[in-house]
Amino acid sequence: MTTAPDTTSGIAVVTGAAGGMGAHIARRLHADGHRVLLTDIDVEAAAVVADELSADGSTARAIPLDVGHKENFERALDECRTLWGTPTIMVNNAARTQAADLMTLAEDEFTQVLNTNVNSIFFGCQVFGGAMAGRGYGRIVNMASLAGQNGGTATGAHYATSKGAILTATKIFARELAGSGVTVNAIAPGPHDLPVVKATVPPDRLDAVIAGIPVGRLGSPSFIADMVGLLTKDDAYFVTGACWDVNGGLYVR
């Protein structure tokens, strides 16, 4: 009988961890007792969060990661293994959020958003999921979005398209890795109380957006972090290929 590795104190990697949702997730996983590698293209901002969690760097570190390219994930995996070992948790959170007009959206704008948002999920799952499968244990959480389910409410078509692709990639990798002890799930938040939402939605439209949410308020990012904590527990082995909706009733299925 094969016994799963002891993951009481795991090794978590969070992309886009310099602020916003990623920082909330990194803090929660660290509070759960995991060592956390905070990755971001803005490594200086990620280092501020890492230092807040672990002044001596023993349980939280920051490294640079441009999630648009596979080789960067491979480099990050090597750094994680050198520092602490093979990760047990991967949270693919990094994303480029933009609003844009559908019929005038330029090709380069479309490509930039797709490269960031889709490449990050696909190669994050491929590189880190493969490493976890070799160890026989892993938990991957991909941050999708309501926009990938309903076409978006305040974001551009390129963003919505990329988030829809994340849902499909989650199912593909969940099926591929399930037999190796690795679960792959997605969380699809609606509008949350985060700087990126307020930066994307003009102030004169934000009240209207909130009024259109059935529960009448923006979501709590700390609750999303709690969901990540739940999905990455050892006994979450029976949840894989799922998408957990957190949208205040904007999309009901």
Identify the active-site residue in 137, 159, 237, 251: 159
For residues 36 and 29, what is the distance between their CA atoms, to the nearest angstrom? 7
DSSP 183-247: EEEEEEE-SBSSHHHHHHS-HHHHHHHHHTSTTSSPBPHHHHHHHHHHHTSGGGTT--S-EEEES
Query: Is 159 assigned a catalytic role?
Result: yes
DSSP string, 122-187: HHHHHHHHHHHHHHT-EEEEEE--THHHHS-SSS-HHHHHHHHHHHHHHHHHHHHHGGGTEEEEEE
How far from the centroid of its chain's Cα atoms is residue 111's Cα? Answer: 20
Residues whose CB is less than 8 angstroms from the CB of residue 57 and which lie 6 or more positions away in sequence, other chains included = 50, 51
The residues that are catalytic are 159
